[in-house]
A and B are shown apart, each in its own frame.
Chain A
Amino acid sequence: MHFSPFKQAMIWAVVALGVLLIVPSFFARETVDKWPSWVPRKQLSLGLDLRGGAYLLYSMEPGDVRKDWLETLRDDARRRLRDAKIGVQAVGITGGAVQVRLAKPEEADAAVKELRNLAQQIGNVLTGTTGTDVDVRKAEGGVILIVPTEPGIQNRISNAVSAAIETIRRRVDPDGTTEALIVREGTSRILIQVPGLTDTTELKKLVGTTARLTFHEVSRDMTAEQAKQTRPPPGFKVYEGGARDEGALVLRETPVVRGDELADAQPGFDQRTNEPVISFRFNNAGARKFGAFTTSHVNQPFAIVLDDKIISAPVVREPILGGSGQISGSFTVESANQLAVQLRSGALPAKLTIVNERTVGPSLGADSIEAGKLAGIIGGIATIVLTVLAYGTFGLFACVGLLVHGALTVAIMTLIGASLTLPGIAGLVLGIAMAVDANVLVFERIREELRAGKSGIAAIDLGFNRAFVTIADSQLTTLACATVMFWLGSGPIRGFAVTLSVGILTSIFASVTVVRLLVSYWLRSAKRTPRGVEVPV
């Protein structure tokens, strides 16, 4: 039962550090902000279920990403073959692949060689293998297939999710001031957490639209009705009208300018009609393309398309060379605002759908905190009473160990930035029960050794040493469980697993080491009787 002065100092230093780290959590945020910078100011963060807020899990449609990619591949293939002066009969998308029908089948080898340049090397970090994202191969009769590979698609989706996260951040948190958390979950999901938000309608509107804005040439040869009955001219497609009942039009599929060539978009009002509009400005490349197009299409209509729906189809009155203009499309002030934000943030690479949504109002969170506090205090008092009743003075030491345990658990949670959730409180309480168990094991063992006729000091020594193996075994098995929970669990289970694990890790130090140190102090001043010390358990 001997502790070297150095060891004692270390133990108390850890305890003091733990207590110091939890101090800020007992004060209001504003108070803590005024403290000097050298004192710890980090507070325990509360989970959404305790502080209130919104949790939205979005999933990206892999089909959208694939379709988009195929369209890009098709356009690239067409351009490459044209540049290489290889004659093409048709280029189209069929069954998840781009199909190129050559004018002269004998040029197939040259075409394959040219199209292979489209493929990009992608590496897999996990398996260390490399491959290409598309497969270019020759089929019968001068047909060449460009087929995306599975790793290629995965790679695309992963990139699209990363891009989407950036876009969402620009939409939801343009100034970086809110505490919104936007992260990837798995391969194709995005998690958005906004503390304090309960009405998610706005947020869902902001995130739920792709906002892909394109400017298209309108076909002069055919109306939508004609195109629907026969078929649109090659390279053209029928687009439906949007909210304003613009009516369907036949548009060239490849847009003149895209939304990603916008430099800015701001909501405003039309000077004549006073209806809400969006003023936009193209970047240099966009302005050049738009200028060239409007110069050659004076007095003809062009279409502004948002997410495959026509929002307006104005007629070009004069060449627009400055690169700026406005869109009017029966907006409300609110929707104009929203679209402007979305346009500035850029389009999402694919449509996102909500697969899981949880919101907690602040009143419920506050109620839960109150309930958790009350249960914690009552549970804590009951534990203290039981322990002191059962083990007397040593029981008091155990209670000090429990307090240290609680402090250290909260301190570590604060340090690693884990947030406390309602299931987390339950995990905390359970961790306390585990810590009590460690003390019970030690003290029962001491009693046993005393009954077996050992002297007081020997019994205490044996009790701590023998019980330690058991404590370590039982804590490790529970830790194994908690690890499984964290690994496989989601949301509520994780919060629980984290606090439980931290609680187990601190319990050996708090309930064994600290209690043992206290017992060693007690031993030094203990009354000696002829039979050795009188152990009060």
Chain B
Amino acid sequence: MKWLPNFKGIDFFPHDLRLPFMAYKGPAIALSIVAMLLSLTVFFVKGLNYGIDFKGGLVIEVQTASGGPANVVQLRDSLGKLGIGAVQIQEFGAPSDVMIRVEQQPGGEEAQQVALGKVQEALKGEYVSRRTEIVGPAVSSELRFTGFLAVFVGVLAITAYVWFRFEWQFAVGVIVALAHDVLLTVGVFALFQLEFDLSIVAALLTILGYSVNDSVVVSDRIRENLRKFKRMELNELLNISINETLSRTILTGCTAIVVLVALYVFGGEVIRNFNLAMLLGVVIGTYSSMFIAAPMLGYLGVKRDWSGAKGATPAGGAPTTAARASK
């Protein structure tokens, strides 16, 4: 490959930087606990703005037949008279596109179809349908159930894997970090009343995957260093491990964020909220693997001798009282 220009990459990361992550583990964990409590409060006080998947009802996206701007006021007026409950109308993406939301109709599955017929009749001629979604009561309650179950099972599956690959202390750190990521993301959705639908559940699951990915990279390095530095004080070892993987964490995080921003800006209206959730999750997940998952090990202690027979030595790391800052 002599023809190939041989050029060097820019190692823009200052590697001799030794950031004292463990020194901040107390404040960081306290901050996270406060943030989690706030998220929970917002979740219970304001609740989530469930999308059609979970709440049921009708969503109809239409475009004016002429291609000109839609008359939202008139539309609101004519659809409001149909006697199908509250109708929400908003511009969607372009002035000619309108999204119409009709709440779930009382009277079972067939009532939804009747409402759809009424709306279609009222829109006839002036608007062209671009998208229609009807979710009946049976499906919406099912989706709600399986959606939450999916997140729950996802957390369990990941934790089980980490437990199997590492020690239980790592699994505890990971499960706390995952719960933290999910709670905060849900909290932001509740706080700003962003629409929470099935795609956000997919985003949450992906965030879980990304966050644990980060934690696993750090954990792998911790395990390696545990073998390498048998006598090093645990907090310092954890700190070194986080620092050693920091360049990778930042670079991968940046790439993910760049790609997600591209999707958010250019990917269209339909997956905008999904991308927002992913962006949030990547930032929160990166934070939690550095400031929560790894520092948790400092509190829990961990088996130090990885070279000998399995389980020969009990967990004998720095006891939890040695929670002092590393240099």
Contact = CB atoms under 8 A, between A and B. Distances in A.
A466 B153 CA distance: 31
B298 to A, nearest CB: 21
Contacts of A356: 134-136, 139
Interface stretch (B29-37, B194-202, B316-324): B194-202
A383 B258 contact: yes
A484 B247 CA distance: 31
A389 B10 contact: yes
B1 interface: yes
Nearest to A495: B202
Contacts of A395: 9
B7 A393 contact: yes
Interface residues of A, number: 88
Contacts of A496: 199, 202, 206
A525 B1 contact: yes
Nearest to A451: B15
A485 B202 contact: yes
Contacts of B63: 363
A204 B110 CA distance: 12
A190 to B, nearest CB: 13
Interface residues of B, number: 80
B265 to A, nearest CB: 8
Contact of A477 (B149, B212, B278): B212
Given A423-B271, A429-B263, A492 B258 contact: no
Nearest to B259: A379
A118 B273 CA distance: 57
Interface stretch (A100-108, A320-328, A434-442): A434-442
Given A437-B252, A470-B220, A488-B146, A358 B7 contact: no
B251 A368 contact: no
A390 interface: yes
The 5 A-B pairs with the shortest beta carbon distances in the complex, nearest first, are A371-B268, A392-B9, A379-B262, A478-B209, A391-B9
Interface of B: 1-2, 4-12, 15, 61, 63, 108-110, 112-113, 116, 128-136, 138-139, 143, 146, 149-150, 153-154, 157-158, 161-162, 165, 198-199, 201-202, 205-206, 208-210, 212-213, 216-217, 220-221, 224, 244-245, 247-248, 251-252, 254-256, 258-259, 262-263, 265-268, 270-271, 274-275, 278
Given A198-B129, A482-B205, A493-B201, 16 more contacts: A353-B136, A364-B61, A383-B255, A387-B255, A392-B9, A396-B4, A422-B270, A430-B259, A441-B217, A473-B165, A480-B154, A481-B154, A484-B205, A489-B146, A489-B201, A490-B146
24 contacts: A359-B129, A364-B130, A375-B268, A379-B262, A387-B255, A422-B271, A423-B199, A423-B202, A426-B271, A426-B275, A426-B278, A433-B255, A433-B259, A436-B252, A437-B213, A440-B248, A444-B251, A480-B157, A481-B208, A496-B206, A497-B202, A526-B6, A536-B7, A536-B9
